[in-house]
Amino acid sequence: MFEEKEKNKNRGLTFTILGIFVLLLTSAGIAIAVYTWNYTSDENRISTGDISMSLLESTDVISIENALPMSDTKGKQLGKNESFDFAVTTYASGKPGDINYSISITEDAVDEGYTKLGSENVKVYLTVLPEKRNDAYQQEIEVVAPTKVSEIIKENNTGNFTFKDEQYSKHSHTSSGSTITTKYRLRMWVDSEVDASDWKKDSDSKYQYKLKIGTAGSIKPIGVVE
């Protein structure tokens, strides 16, 4: 008697489950049958190439001792020991077009025992070096005229040079896998307007000015569409 009941229960359960499955199958069938449409487009593609930028700094840094105010004409002629060479190199695996970059100067802390000269007292001057030394008539090209540091550094002890012509801060990568280098020479001196009358030997006031070069690149956001 008890066993029979159990059997019936089981059978009932089985039928219920079966019923649910049938119901599920039916509704699934209906869902599939209605109007449907599927579409997939072709591919859209966006790619970036490998790009690198290097700043090569000469080991010969500017180290002028006993500097005194001088004219721009004299400053522009400061020799190799009183100037600092560096190079900006960009490489692109693809053809990204123009890589624009900026060159900045950052004021550095002075050595112990020195007082920092005001940035309005120091002038900087930037030229581009000829591609090859034996380019007989190719001289240094002035890209940033003698400028007071105070006019360059505005905030956070850093400021960008304003180039006379933007072509001197731009590398045009129009063929794949190209490397482009531009060499620069930086000169700095104490501006001729500075009153150096109280600069004396062994005086308490020993002045100094230190700066670093930096560069930051950006690529003009135009992709190459093929």
Partner 1 sequence: MDNKKVLTISIVAVVVLVIAIISTSYATFSAQISGEKENKLTTGYVTLKCDEEVFTLNDTSPMTDEEGIALESNEAVCTLSSEMKGEMTVGYDIALDDVDAETPDDDLTENDVKVQIYKITNEQDPAQTKYLQGTSENTGTYIANLKEKSGTYDTESVENYLIDSDKITGTTQVIYKVKAWVSNNKNGVENIQTNSVTNSDDGVCSNSEYNTQAECESAGEVWGNSQKSTQTGGTFSFKLKIGATQILEDE
Partner 2 sequence: MFEEEPKENHRASFTILGIFVLLLTVVGVAIAAYTWTYTSNNANSISTGNISMSLLESTDTISIENALPMSDDKGKQLKNNGTFDFAVTTEASGQPGDINYKLSITEDNADSDYTLLNKEQVKVYLTVLTNNEDAENEVLETQVVKPTKVSDIITENSDNETGVLTFDEGQTQHLTHHHNKIGETITTKYRLRMWISDDVDASNWNESTKYQYKLKINASGSIDPIQ
What is the distance between the alpha carbons of residues 192 and 51, in angstroms, rounded to a whole number?
A: 43
What is the distance between the alpha carbons of residues 114 and 159, in angstroms, rounded to a whole number?
A: 23
Strands 141-148 and 158-160: unpaired
Whole-angstrom distance between the N-terminal and C-terminal Cα of the chain?
A: 84
Pull the structure tokens for residue 206: 């020993």
What is the distance between the alpha carbons of residues 182 and 168, in angstroms, rounded to a whole number?
A: 8
93 binds, among partner 1, partner 2, none (CB under 5 to 8 A by kind): partner 1
Q: Does 33 bind partner 2 (CB under 8 A)?
A: yes
What is the distance between the alpha carbons of residues 54 and 171, in angstroms, rounded to a whole number?
A: 13
Pull the structure tokens for residue 212: 């670093």
Among residues 64, 72, 104, 192, the one that binds partner 1 under rule CB under 8 A: 104
Sign of CA dihedral 66, 68, 72, 74: negative
Residues 136-155 as x/- pattern, contact with partner 2 by CB under 8 A = --------------------
Residue type, 37: W
Q: Does 219 bind partner 1 (CB under 8 A)?
A: yes
How many residues bind partner 2 (CB under 8 A)? The answer is 8
Binding positions for partner 1, 24-53, rule CB under 8 A: 34-53
Stretch that binds partner 2, among 32-40, 43-51, 190-198, 214-222 (CB under 8 A): 32-40
Stretch that binds partner 1, among 69-77, 88-96, 111-119, 120-128 (CB under 8 A): 88-96
Binding site for partner 1 (CB under 8 A): 34-60, 85-87, 89, 92-97, 99, 104, 106, 129-130, 132-134, 181, 183, 212-219, 221-226
Binding site for partner 2 (CB under 8 A): 29-30, 32-37
